Structure 1
Amino acid sequence: MSHIKPIRQVTVIGTGVIGASWAALFLAKGLDVIAIDVSLNAESSLRKFVLTAWPALERLGLTPGASPLRLFFTSDLAEAVKDVDFVQESGPEQLDFKQELYGQLDALLPPDVIIASSSSGLPMSQIQLGATIHPERCVIGHPFNPPHLMPLVEIVGGPLTSEATIRRAQDFYRSLGKQTVRINKEMPGHVASRLQAALAREAYYLVAEGALSAADVDTALTAGPGLRWSVMGNMMLDHLSGGPGGIEHFLQHFGAPLTASWKSLGSPELTPEVQRKLSESVRAEVGTRTIEELEAERDDRLLEILELRANAI
């Protein structure tokens, strides 16, 4: 790659839920953001989202010079990527769309500008086939929702992605305060969503079987393992469960009952009847609260946890 410039200007392609959240984060970190989205009312929706998210970002701490006024919007791709230092693509999860887009970006951008995709499911090995000139600068930078609050970014390269691109992407996301995980092998859904899916499968099974309500499933998680997972992950907690002998003792003494329990885990089919049971149980937990109220509650609690984690460092 050619001379590497500092990243000061970022283009956000696609300003839906994920793209808008990325834009708010980049702005909070003192970057210039050029956003592009051809959807109706995209610009007004984006600016509204940024202003709504700004108090939370102020609470977490803004970089000097950060301002929503550093957001620019266009519907022209060439204009959106002119003089840009990094591209965060959050467009539709359609492979043909992304391949065509990456071909256009590849032709417009200097070879040292990274094109990172927020894709939650499409593999970079397929996406980067559209970038026939410099596929080595294409990488997955998959956030956890909402990106302006959640620290996690999963980084996955395709077979044509260079090591330099992966390292630069890691450095950039970490400079934003993100915690990155590098996935060395392409996996459907990457990693965090797979872990989440495994838990969701059992949660749905328990509710569908009438073992307990959706509210009690959520309480069992948030008051039990979820509380521990907010400070340590599964692997480290298993190490602690082994006592002085650590993970080796845990595997030797708890491995057999653990694998036996796996055999009893459910594999529910989301038939209309199961969906009805799940919906009724979740609606009972929701009560009269709106989506907006629940989102605000989620984000406020996330902020409290993030502040506690920051103070503990």
Structure 2
Amino acid sequence: MTHPFRTAAVIGAGTIGLSWTALFAAHGLTVRVSDPRPDLAEAVDTALAQSAPHLATLGLDVTGLANRVHVAADVTEAVHDADVVQENGPENLGFKKELFGRLVEEAPWHALLLSSSSAIPATAFTGDLRHADRVLVGHPFNPPHVIPLVEVVPGEYTSEDAVQDAVDFYTFLGRTPVVERKEIPGFVGNRLQHALSREAAYLVQQGVVTPDDLDRVLTRSLGIRWAAVGLFLGQHLGGGPGGYRHLVGHIGASMGELTPGEPSKRPEDRLRVVEAVEKAYGNRSYADLAEERDRRQLAVLRALDGTTGDTHTNAHNEEN
């Protein structure tokens, strides 16, 4: 690391920002949180209490977690001595342009400026900024204190030192950073998720399957395989001894004739999918469903971490 990370600023305390806050504090960082929400102090306390069992499951010491987290009066106070800033504001280009314009002026010169942007590339909100060399996207998946992946996406003006610092920072946090070398809206994870979500909505609209049964298809087949080996390795193995080349030349030929479904954009058709999802899951609270999700995700991670060897370790090390 070019600079050690001791103090972090979290800008935006929604679900993602609060999760980052807990993870940062669990790794010993002093964390200052800024958000205009009137219940900020209460929200931070609740998030730390809810996250602590998950963090303890990951082997982290959560003793005194709240003592390392401080509610800042505003952005200026949050970032004044920060080594790293993680922005988690609205997915709004104008907001990000204005905020990062402040951050490059008010944060220390060495501070790494990261955005949790889900779809907007860094170049889109840093094109007119001075010192944009230390700004880049660090896109997590919800909740980041549980899900390891962080997409590290440099902008056109991001320096290689900042990219390496971001990789080092997220690695220090026990995350799995993947550097994506070409900016594209939505990055990789959300583009894949969107493609699958679009087909899922089409299948529900067509009456092929209900939302809960579609979820069973994923959790009892593809989800297990993808969690274990990913997509391309799964397909390589699916081709048998001939590997991916055999798959593409044989099964791939017939699968290539399938046309992805295009879900209707008519309000009444979209509403039908919404109502179907609510019928499947609306009888349980968000808090209950989220807690079950995170317990299951942690169980999957423990199972994967307990296997001998990591299929992707060598490729990851070579990339980073």
Q: Choose from 276, 291, 298 the match for 2:286.
A: 291
Distance 1:302 1:99 in 2: 34
1:180 to 177, 181, 184: 177
Contact 1:24 1:50 in 2 (8 A): yes
Counterpart-to-counterpart distance in 2, 1:56 and 1:158: 33
Q: How far is 1:64 from its partner?
A: 8.0
Match of 2:306 among 299, 304, 311: 311
* Alpha-carbon contact 2:40-2:71 (below 8 Å) kept: no
Letter in 1 for 2:213: D
- The answer to whether the 8 A contact 1:93-1:122 is kept is yes
> Quick check: 1:34 aligned with 2:32?
yes
State the distance in 2 between where 1:111 and 1:246 align.
Answer: 50
Q: Conserved in 2, the CA contact under 8 Å of 1:118 and 1:143?
A: yes
* Aligned residue identity for 2:280: E
Report if the CA contact (8 A) 1:238-1:250 is conserved. yes
Whether 2:158 is the aligned partner of 1:158: answer no
**Contact kept in structure 1, 2:264 and 2:270, CA below 8 Å:** no
The alignment-based identity, stated in percent, is 41
Aligned residue among 30, 50, 53 for 1:52: 50
Question: What's the counterpart of residue 198 of structure 1?
Answer: 195
Cα deviation for residue 33 of structure 1 reads 0.6
Structure 2 counterpart of 1:143: 140
Task: Give the number of equivalent residue pairs.
Answer: 308
- Residue 103 of structure 2 corresponds to which residue in structure 1? 105
Measured at CA, do residues 25 and 130 of structure 1 come closer, stay the same or move farther in structure 2, by a change above 3 Å? farther
Alignment of 1:261-280 (within 5 A): 261=258, 263=259, 265-280=260-275
Contact 1:14 1:90 in 2 (8 A): yes
Cα offset, 1:27, TM superposition: 1.0
Q: What letter corresponds to residue 177 of structure 1 in structure 2? A: G
Kindly indicate whether the alpha-carbon contact (under 8 Å) linking 1:10 and 1:32 is maintained by their aligned counterparts in 2.
Answer: yes
Deviation at 1:12, TM superposition (A): 0.5
One-letter amino acid matched to 1:249: H
Q: Are the equivalent residues in 1 in contact too, given 2:81–2:108 (CA < 8 A)?
A: no
Query: SS of the counterpart of 1:230?
Result: helix
- After TM superposition, the score normalised by the length of structure 1 is 0.93
C-alpha RMSD of matched pairs (Å): 1.7
Change in 2 beyond 3 A, CA 1:194/1:109: same
The CA distance in 2 between the partners of 1:145 and 1:287, in whole Å, is 20
Q: What stretches of structure 1 of length at least 5 have no aligned partner?
A: none
TM-aligned CA distance change 1:282 to 1:8, over 3 Å: same
2:69 counterpart of 1:71: yes
The 1:64/1:203 distance shift into structure 2, 3 A limit, reads closer
Distance 1:100 1:179 in 2: 30
Q: Which residue is 1:236 aligned to?
A: 233
Q: Deviations over 1:12-56 (max 9, x none)?
A: 011111111110111111211111112221222122111111111
Q: 2:297 aligns with which of 286, 298, 302?
A: 302
- TM-score by length of structure 2 reads 0.91
> Where do 5+ consecutive residues of structure 2 fail to align?
309-320
